[in-house]
Structure 1
Amino acid sequence: MPQHREHPPGSPPALPVAQRRGAGRQRIVVLSASVGAGHDGAADGLAARLAGHGFQVDRYDFLDLLPARAGKLLCGAYHRLLTRAPESYQRLYQATERAARPGAVWRALLRSAERRTLAALPPDTTAVISTYPGASQVLGALRQRGLLTVPVFTYLTDFSVHALWIAPGVDAHLAVHPVPAAQAHAQGAAAVTVVGPVTDPRFSPATAGQRAAARARFGLPDQAPLALLVAGSWGVGPVRQAAAEIQATGVAQPVVVCGRNRALAERVRQDGVAHVFGWVDDMPGLMHACDVLVQNAGGLTSLEAFAAGLPVASYRCIPGHGRTNAQALEEGGLAAWIRTPDELRPVLGELLHGPRGQAQRAAGIALHRAACGPVPAITARTGRRAAPPAPAPAPAARPAGRRRLVLAAATTAVTVSLGVAAPLTYAYTKSPARFTTVAHYLDGDDR
């Protein structure tokens, strides 16, 4: 059975400078975080685009730069809150989403990562890009104090933008669409730039032949409408309920992807769902085989579906960014937000067979084709000239006792205060004077 991998695994640990030397190419460092797969997936896309334009790219996992395994504790605490107490997490999220700056515990943890972050950057670094808010906060602080002298960029991975993504000191914020750009702008982000998504080029609309071949390869029905149900690399949320409800509509057969959650995959099979996968290496192929995407987080998989020409529906969304991303995607005209089970059947029918689905397919494809990409915005700030793109770039000590308890409590508190990619509600009516535009908003979408 094919195995699901939405994106390549997390970045390797930092290497000595001598092992990272390029042949005189300009070096850009990308900081991500292996919290789910979305931050790493965006970093993979950025690294591939930059490498294709002749840059030497280094990748680091920000969680590895936190001291005493605090990064692993942070990730684990967030995962446990999301899976074991989702509504409690939602309440905590709502109570903290309007914070103007990180809390005291979070600031202390970030300060502890500054030395290791600075030490990880090679001396010939020309720019640093973050796809994780914690890394952006650290890089912005270093930049403000003059300890980091090269431009710093934040790539906003979601469609909704939490205030903690906007770190003082960051030179420019790169967004995938005008909706998150407007949110970042309203919160005073510097040099907001709409650059579009950075997904794998294999995500593209399927021909009839590709669709038939993909269905045969995955053992799927030849003709039946198929709804691809995804729940991120962790397989979180009420996936079993959503799968049963899609099946009960009779409009489409569910094809369920459970990511790393093998136990979930087995339970969904026991529920009588015929087409269930864990890890899938060929997600572009699986999207070619299906007719609509149903998702619960609004992350990178949605962007990949747009590129593949699939209409997208948000349903039974996870707390925090899952719900605010659903609102932002609906606001941008890119995905339907199905709020109740009664809406599921008619909305899926519209997306599969009606003008609503056609409009969303066109909007998703245009999102990928209209934007200029991240490289011009980055080179504009660095003052360096990128090489022409390559024709086909290659696929790219444990704390003990009391100290461990303190770290566990601290990282749990940080998880709550950050919300891990948590977004903030819209504030379109504000117009901070310090806002500047580096690149272009997508034609016709600047609402």
Structure 2
Amino acid sequence: MNIRHPRILIMTAGYGEGHLQVSHALKQGFLSKEIYSLHIVDLMKEAHPILNSVSSKLYQMSTYSSQFGLDYYGWSYYMTRDTNPIGSVNRYLNAIGKRKILEMIENARPDAIINTFPFGAVTETSRNFSIPTSTVITDYTLHSRWIHPDTDKYYVATEALESELIKDHGTAPDRICVTGIPVRAAFYHTATAATMSSPVEPRMARNRVLIMAGSFAVFHHIVELVQMLLEKGNCDIDLVCGRHDKMVMKLRSLFPDRLDVNVLGYVEQMHELMAASSCIVTKAGGVTLSEALVLKVPVFILKPYGGQERENAQFFQQNGLADIAYDTRELGEKMIHFLHDPAASERIRNKMASMDRGEAAKQIVEDTLLMIDERQRLRGLPLFAVRK
């Protein structure tokens, strides 16, 4: 007898790394259940390659232009945040990708579809095939684009988002799961190992600061912050520049003989670097903040970009998980104060521990499989054989 395992489609988009990272975290979760019939699709890239190329470049440019007052992405975000999910604007946007998703459904015949980007076209099209469709909201804030009345399940980061969906949008409570935002399994494993190996050991005498250089729009601001921390912070510094090779070379030339400044390019084992840090300076992307939350690493954010990053940053600040600064000197002063106050670190880590929801991808995978089996029962069909 041939046993068929569930077929899964994960629909995403390449605006920033967050949506893709969440998709791959979910893929890891399904593979751990030995579900191999799974496809991650960048729907915008597949359906509208020219529009995708132009809009992606505009999105990337907005992160820099906003630092100089031209925050066109932020303006568009706030103008559309509270629009009617079934109004004319969202109806128009929900048509994007419909033809392509119909083609994919007919070819792949998925048993479930998961959105990690707000694609109304996916929800509307899959409804006609009775395919359960869920949405993983990849930020700590809600925008009207994430909401569609036909969504079977929402997976959200916080109880606040759950409450907003219920009270403001009439979503049934049983259609919402508070799971946190999925991150790579390595972050959970590292967090668990750290807890088991040294639950009561004191923090290291000398602090270690992790700075994501890509979160700075102006190069000399990085240098200014490093110099402040070297002068007054009593810390070692890891500077991660990603794939910006010129930045790596320039920073290494500025701090050639400093053993307390470690300049790195692209880092594969980011979970290890973050876990060893006393705090991190980064952008306020939903996934990066979730990684810090899992590892219980306090966060500092410099002048967050308008839109979901600003909202994410404000949520973390309001809940005592992060601090925001609006210029480099303010950032340095806040960090130096933090580094000289061990009680502040312990307080933030305890708050992070209370908000950590566990392994989000695992929860979403298991709930998706339950939804699929429920559809099979309703159709009178045999259930799928899935490794528990």
Which bracket does the TM-score occupy, shorter chain normalised? 0.7 to 0.9
Aligned match for 2:238, one of 252, 255, 259: 255
Are residue 227 (structure 1) and residue 215 (structure 2) matched?
no
Answer whether contact 1:236 1:318 (CA < 8 A) is retained: no
Amino acid at match of 2:121: V
Task: Give the secondary-structure state (helix, strand or coil) at the position aligned to 1:88.
Answer: coil
Answer whether contact 1:29 1:57 (CA < 8 A) is retained: yes
**What per-residue deviation string (whole Å, max 9, x for no partner) do you get for residues 262-291 of structure 1?**
444445445549432221111122223322
**What per-residue deviation string (whole Å, max 9, x for no partner) do you get for residues 192-235 of structure 1?**
21012322232224759x99xxxxxxxxxx97422112266xx5
What is the rounded CA distance, in whole Å, between the counterparts of 1:98 and 1:81 in structure 2? 21
Are residue 181 (structure 1) and residue 166 (structure 2) matched?
no
Answer whether contact 1:45 1:198 (CA < 8 A) is retained: yes
Amino acid at match of 2:358: R
Aligned match for 1:98, one of 63, 74, 82: 82
Identify which range, 239-248 or 162-171, moves more after superposition: 239-248
TM superposition shift of 1:48: 1.3
What is the rounded CA distance, in whole Å, between the counterparts of 1:266 and 1:178 in structure 2? 44
The corresponding residue for 1:119 is 103
Gaps of 5+ in 2: 199-203, 375-382
What is the rounded CA distance, in whole Å, between the counterparts of 2:347 and 2:180 in structure 1? 19
Q: Which runs of structure 2 are paired with 1:242-321 in the superposition (5 Å)?
A: 242=222, 244-245=224-225, 247-249=227-229, 250-251=232-233, 252-269=235-252, 272=255, 274-321=261-308
Amino acid at match of 1:27: R
Are residue 358 (structure 1) and residue 346 (structure 2) matched?
yes
TM superposition shift of 1:24: 1.6
Answer whether contact 1:255 1:275 (CA < 8 A) is retained: yes
Task: Give the secondary-structure state (helix, strand or coil) at the position aligned to 1:297.
Answer: coil
The corresponding residue for 2:121 is 138
Answer whether contact 2:4 2:384 (CA < 8 A) is retained: no
- Cα 1:112/1:200, change in 2 over 3 Å: closer
TM superposition shift of 1:42: 0.7
Answer whether contact 1:292 1:352 (CA < 8 A) is retained: no
Task: Give the secondary-structure state (helix, strand or coil) at the position aligned to 1:30.
Answer: strand
Amino acid at match of 1:28: I
TM superposition shift of 1:152: 0.7
Q: How many pairs were matched up?
A: 351
TM superposition shift of 1:360: 2.5
What is the rounded CA distance, in whole Å, between the counterparts of 1:65 and 1:102 in structure 2? 25
The corresponding residue for 2:358 is 369
Are residue 40 (structure 1) and residue 25 (structure 2) matched?
no
Task: Give the secondary-structure state (helix, strand or coil) at the position aligned to 2:111.
Answer: strand
What is the rounded CA distance, in whole Å, between the counterparts of 1:32 and 1:72 in structure 2? 15
Please provide the CA RMSD for this pair: 3.4
Task: Give the secondary-structure state (helix, strand or coil) at the position aligned to 2:122.
Answer: helix
Higher-helix-fraction structure: 2
TM superposition shift of 1:165: 1.3
Are residue 379 (structure 1) and residue 366 (structure 2) matched?
no
Gaps of 5+ in 1: 1-21, 212-221, 390-447
What is the rounded CA distance, in whole Å, between the counterparts of 1:236 and 1:355 in structure 2? 28
Percentage of identical aligned residues: 21
Q: Using structure 2 for the length normalisation, give the TM-score.
A: 0.77
Identify which range, 34-43 or 300-309, moves more after superposition: 300-309
Aligned match for 1:202, one of 186, 189, 194: 186
The corresponding residue for 1:31 is 11
TM superposition shift of 1:247: 3.8
Q: Which runs of structure 2 are paired with 1:408-447 in the superposition (5 Å)?
A: none
Task: Give the secondary-structure state (helix, strand or coil) at the position aligned to 1:111.
Answer: coil
**What per-residue deviation string (whole Å, max 9, x for no partner) do you get for residues 37-63 of structure 1?**
110111111121122234332211122
Amino acid at match of 1:387: V
Task: Give the secondary-structure state (helix, strand or coil) at the position aligned to 2:95.
Answer: helix
Answer whether contact 1:295 1:317 (CA < 8 A) is retained: no
Aligned match for 1:156, one of 112, 137, 158: 137
Task: Give the secondary-structure state (helix, strand or coil) at the position aligned to 1:314.
Answer: strand
Answer whether contact 1:257 1:277 (CA < 8 A) is retained: yes
TM superposition shift of 1:347: 5.0
The corresponding residue for 2:333 is 345
Answer whether contact 1:298 1:329 (CA < 8 A) is retained: no
